Amino acid sequence: MSLGGRLALLTRGEGSHVWDAEGTRYLDFLGGIAVNALGHAHPVFAETVARQAATLSHVSNYFATPQQLELAARLKELAGTGERGRVFLANSGTEANETAIKLARLHARKQGWAEGLIVSLEGAFHGRSTGALALTPKAAYQDPFRPLLPGVTHIAPTLEALEELFAGGERISALVVEPIQGEAGVLPLPEGYLRRARELTTAHGALLILDEVQTGMGRTGRWFAFQAEGIVPDAITLAKGIAAGFPLGALVTFGDASDLFYPGTHNSTFGGNPLASAVANAVIQEIQDRDLLANVAERGAQLREAVERMPLVAGTRGAGLLIGIALTKPVAAEVRAAAHARGLIVNAPTDDAIRIAPAYTIGDDEVAEFTSTFAVALDEVASRHAAPTTEGIPA
Ligand SMILES: *Cc1c(COP(=O)(O)O)cnc(C)c1O
């Protein structure tokens, strides 16, 4: 069964597989867009939801819960904020980024600036609410909703544009960047970008805010992508894999940025409720107990090596199990459809890139199933485009 002729109606999942209403089985290598870190219907997930739902699922923010305090302590520890760090729990990546925008505004006020620009990068994706959308410079997403939040601008994701920005003399309250641009086709920042961004933001009194909604919580083989760069940001935003499929988002602050919010400046009714927090705690514990970060790094390398030898593949990029597969032709939508027809779920964030973001738990069987199915899908699309009659005709 399909919805709108495009989406399968999925009814059940187990591990790295999902089934549609007709009983067709798919290997899920998209993982709910980098969300299902433990795959589907993981016993730890299911038992934690059931146990916590039967104990305490929601209280207002007039009260704390042990689950919430435990999660905040875990995130501070994993991110290395030290005692000064603070954690603001929300319900999604967009809401975490809205919180980051407010953090940037409070920072500008503290500096005594009436205004301060918030700067994001071309190709960025930070969410679809009107504030996060202002930081997401894509015409198709923004244009129907103008005017957007003022005081936001964008620069190219290059070191030259970064230097130029800070040489321009404008007051910049925050630079907001993804360590790897997921929606742009899993595009890593240029080598050394985050280190230089840290130097320049510090020198000019701007916050460095990293959107780790997609790259965080182990997806790249480290808890957070910034940890591969030897820098400390002022804040990171998290969501997607944080509770492996239970809605939850977070803003984690470091150092002075932790003193900006004060009582009354921010709140969220559902944010950090004990149910979502309990699931996140259990997911983090499971990743640690099974040493899944090592599996993420190892399986990621294994998949990239296999894919790089396939037809139509120009190369791979990303880190851990967030992998962009660059194609030699703009046929990503065809490749996605061919894979789907063979029972493999991947996605096509751009015309010439396929993204995979499977569960951290994948093993030899899933790697083998992916490798054989994806190769067949690529072969089919490659042979279609190699036909003499279509040679040289743009897709
Ligand atoms: C998915 C995503 C968001 C938005 O998260 P939602 O939970 O959909 O609101 C923001 N930033 C990045 C980098 C993302 O990948």
Length of the chain as a residue count: 395
Position in ligand 1 atom list of the atom nearest CA 95: 9
The verdict on residue 231 lying in a domain is yes
Domain count along the chain? 2
pLDDT at 191 over 60: yes
Same domain, 285 and 295: no
Query: Which pTM value belongs to this model?
Result: 0.96
Residues having CB within 6 Å of any atom of ligand 1:
92-94, 97, 125-127, 178, 182, 211, 213-214, 239-240
Question: Could you tell which of 126, 136, 220 is best to mutate to test the pocket of ligand 1, judged by most ligand atoms within 8 Å of the CB?
Answer: 126
Residue 44: how many other CB atoms lie within 10 Å: 16
pLDDT for residue 4: 44
Catalytic residue chosen out of the listed positions 28, 211, 234, 352 = 211
Is residue 231 located within the same domain as residue 91?
A: yes
> Quick one: pLDDT at residue 392?
54
The average confidence (pLDDT) of the chain is 95
Q: Which of 29, 125, 224, 370 is catalytic?
A: 125
Q: Which of 264, 289, 314 is the last residue of a domain?
A: 289
- In terms of domains, do 77 and 184 share one? yes
Does the residue 41 lie in any domain?
no
Tokens representing 36 are 């299902």
Does the structure show a pLDDT above 70 at 97?
yes
Taking a C-beta distance cutoff of 8 angstroms, is the pair 311, 338 a contact?
no
Q: Domain range holding 119? A: 46-289
Measure 169 CA to ligand 1 centroid, in angstroms.
31
Residues 331 and 187 in one domain: no
pLDDT on residue 156: 98
If you measure from the C-alpha of residue 213 to the centroid of ligand 1, how many angstroms do you get, rounded to a whole number?
A: 6
Nearest CA to ligand 1 atom 11: 126
Portion of the chain with pLDDT greater than 90, in percent: 94
Residue 393 in domain:
no
Q: Within this chain, do residues 231 and 296 fall inside the same structural domain, yes or no?
A: no
C-alpha of residue 123 to centroid of ligand 1, in Å: 13
- Candidates 213, 242, 248, 270: which one to mutate for ligand 1, based on the most atoms within 8 Å of Cβ? 213
**In Å, how far from its chain's centre is CA 170?**
30
Average pLDDT of the residues in 326-340: 98
pLDDT over 70 at 1, yes or no: no
Residue 39 CA to residue 31 CA, distance in Å, equals 7
Determine whether 125 is an active site residue: yes
DSSP symbol at 11: E
pLDDT in tens, 304-319: 999 999 999 999 999 9
**pLDDT > 50? residue 282:** yes
CATH number of the CATH domain containing 337:
3.90.1150.10
What pLDDT is recorded for position 3? 42
The pLDDT of residue 135: 98
Pocket test for ligand 1, best of 30, 35, 36, 94 (most atoms within 8 A of CB): 94
Q: Ligand 1: distance of its center to the CA of 5 in Å?
A: 26
Arithmetic mean of pLDDT, 340-365: 98
261 shares a domain with 128: yes
- What is the reported pLDDT for 8? 85
Note the pLDDT of residue 125. Answer: 98
Which CATH number characterizes residue 166's domain? 3.40.640.10
Of the residues 45, 166, 240, 352, only one is catalytic, namely: 240
Q: Which letter does DSSP use for residue 231 in this model? A: -
pLDDT score at 386: 85
Closest among 146, 73, 304, 165 to 177, alpha carbons compared:
165
- In this prediction, residues 379-395 reach a mean pLDDT of 75
What average pLDDT does range 231-253 have in this prediction?
Answer: 98
Give the position, in ligand 1's atom list, of the atom nearest the Cα of 212. 13
**What phi and psi, each to the nearest 5 degrees, are found at residue 229?**
-105, -5
Q: What is the mean pLDDT of residues 390-394?
A: 55
The 10s digit of each residue's pLDDT in 27-78 is 999 999 999 999 999 999 999 999 999 999 999 989 999 999 999 999 999 9
Answer yes or no: 240 catalytic. yes
Looking at this protein, which amino acid is placed at residue 213?
Answer: V
Looking at residues 92-98, what average pLDDT do you find?
98
Structural contact between residues 131 and 142, judged by C-beta atoms closer than 8 angstroms: no
Does the structure show a pLDDT above 70 at 286?
yes
- For residue 145, indicate whether it is catalytic: no
Helices 66-79 and 274-289, interaxial angle, to 10°? 40
Q: Is the pLDDT of residue 285 over 90?
A: yes
On whether the CB atoms of residues 207 and 174 are closer than 8 A, the answer is yes
Each residue's pLDDT tens digit, 214-227: 999 999 999 999 99
The dihedral formed by the CA atoms of 13, 18, 21 and 25, expressed in degrees to the nearest 10: -130
Task: Give the pLDDT of residue 388.
Answer: 66
Q: Domain for residue 389, yes or no?
A: no
Atom of ligand 1 nearest to the CA of 247: 7
pLDDT band per the 50, 70, 90 thresholds, residue 2: very low
Whether the Cβ atoms of residue 292 and residue 361 lie closer than 8 Å to each other:
yes
Question: What DSSP character marks residue 336?
Answer: H
Compute the average pLDDT of residues 162-180: 97
pLDDT (0 to 100) of residue 395: 53
